[in-house]
Each structure stands twice: as C-alpha cells, then as structure tokens.
C-alpha cells in the first residue's frame, strides 16, 4: 500500500454532539477568562494614568510648585508596567487558546475547509502542560509600546515644560539646568539621568519589538500558542 493510500485510509476524527457541546463551553470559558484579564490590564493602565494626572496637577498647581512629583511618578509607572506585564502573560494564555479554537475549529465549520488535525494535539498539550506563551520581558515591551510609551511621553514633555516656564521662562541653559536640581544633586546630573531613563525605555521598546519580530515575523502571526 502506498503512503497516499495509507493517508486516505486513515479516518479523520469528527466530533460527536457531546464533544461539540463540550468544546463550545470550553470556548466560552476561555473567552470569559480572557475578558476578565483584559479588564485587569485596563485597570493597571488606569492607575498609571491617574497617578500621572495627580503628579501633573500638583506640579502645575502654581509657578512655585516643585517638579519633583513628575520625577517620582516615573517610579510608579515602572511598577505599574511590571504589574501589567505579569497580567498580560496570563491574559495571553486565554486569548491564544480562544483564537486557536476560532481559527482551527470554528472557522473550518464556516468555510468547509479541512484543517490539519495537529491543532488538537497542540491545544491538548497546552492544557496538560500549561505554561506562559510569552516571556516577562516581551510582555513588558508590548505593554510599553502600546500604552505606556504615551504616558512616559506626557511625563517627559510636562517635566521639561515645567522647568522651562516656571516660575518664569528660562532665559539660558544654565538657568534651565539649575531648576532641575533636586536638593544637593546638581541639575545637570538630574537631566542626564532623565535622558538615560527615557532613552533606556526607548531602547527597551525597540529591543522587545525585535524579539517579537524574530519570534513571529514582521507582521506577526494571527495567534501564537508558544
């Protein structure tokens, strides 16, 4: 018997009505869990936005107000980004499973096109040996590029705008630098640390984007199960 005859003789598994119902309930459960974790992601982003708003209102409450809150809020943003990256790793598990079922189970029902049965083995392996599909570093990079880069941009613009115009517009670079001083720390050191901090985030965003492209290609896969 030829290999072709062997493949034709091997029956393709079809789900009975009980199995179809179980898969439907499974899909609903995965969508529900991904929705819950999506909400938790939004909550973390909201916390970052609220703290940034408090820092802005405090800093610009008067011309004599200190710009220090805008510096300290950067630490909170980093904490929130770390929390959101951890939550994204869990969200990505449920999202990937739901999309995997949509692409390989539900879509063929609508199109009538046969799919490779290996999708079931991949999904089963993900249930029997659950694991995160993305590293913490890549998860943080995704959340940074999609949300936190804009929060950090507002922080940078607001901080440098504050020391440039309050209490009066800075006339020289020396005056601008002196306003950035924090206690005994000279202003030029604070500015250098600030530039390094922000360019560090930029390098991190680009580096993790390169990791994503190396893993899934330039355009990215429609769904990633690992």
Residue 91 · residue 37 · CB < 8 Å: yes
Helix axes 68-101, 136-143, angle to 10 degrees: 110
Quote the pLDDT of residue 219.
63
Residue position matching structure tokens 């599909």: 133
Prior bond of 167 cis (ω within 30°): yes
pLDDT band at 128 (very low <50, low <70, confident <90, very high): very high
Query: And the tokens for 42?
Result: 């939004």
Q: Is 97 strand, coil or helix?
A: helix
pLDDT more than 90, % of the chain? 68
Give per-residue pLDDT as tens, 165-191.
998 999 899 999 999 999 899 999 999
Say what the pTM is.
0.84
Query: And the tokens for 165?
Result: 């115009």
Q: Is 182 strand, coil or helix?
A: strand
182 φ/ψ angles, rounded to the nearest 5 degrees: -120, 100
How far is residue 108's CA from residue 62's CA, in Å, rounded to a whole number? 63
Give per-residue pLDDT as tens, 18-68.
888 898 999 999 999 999 999 999 999 999 999 999 999 999 999 999 999
Residue 58 · residue 65 · CB < 8 Å: yes
Q: Is the pLDDT of residue 9 over 50?
A: no
Residue 151 · residue 48 · CB < 8 Å: yes
């Amino acid at each position: 018997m030829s290999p072709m005859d062997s493949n034709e003789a091997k029956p393709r598994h079809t789900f009975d009505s009980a199995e179809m119902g179980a898969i439907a309930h499974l899909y609903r459960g995965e969508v529900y869990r991904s929705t819950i974790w999506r909400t938790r992601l939004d909550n973390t982003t909201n916390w970052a936005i609220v703290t940034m708003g408090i820092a802005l209102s405090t800093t610009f409450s008067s011309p004599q107000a200190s710009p220090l809150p805008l510096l300290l809020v950067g630490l909170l943003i980093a904490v929130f980004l770390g929390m959101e990256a951890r939550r994204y790793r869990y969200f990505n598990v449920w999202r990937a499973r739901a999309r995997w079922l949509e692409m390989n189970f539900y879509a063929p029902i609508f199109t009538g096109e046969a799919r490779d049965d290996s999708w079931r083995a991949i999904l089963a392996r993900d249930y029997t040996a659950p694991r995160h599909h993305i590293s913490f570093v890549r998860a943080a990079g995704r959340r940074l590029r999609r949300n936190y880069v804009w929060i950090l941009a507002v922080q940078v613009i607001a901080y440098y705008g504050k020391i440039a115009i309050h209490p009066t517009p800075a006339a020289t670079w020396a005056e601008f630098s002196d306003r950035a001083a924090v206690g005994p720390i000279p202003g030029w050191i604070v500015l250098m640390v600030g530039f390094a901090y922000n360019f560090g985030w930029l390098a991190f965003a680009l580096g993790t984007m390169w990791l994503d492209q190396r893993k899934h290609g330039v355009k990215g896969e429609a769904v990633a199960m690992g």
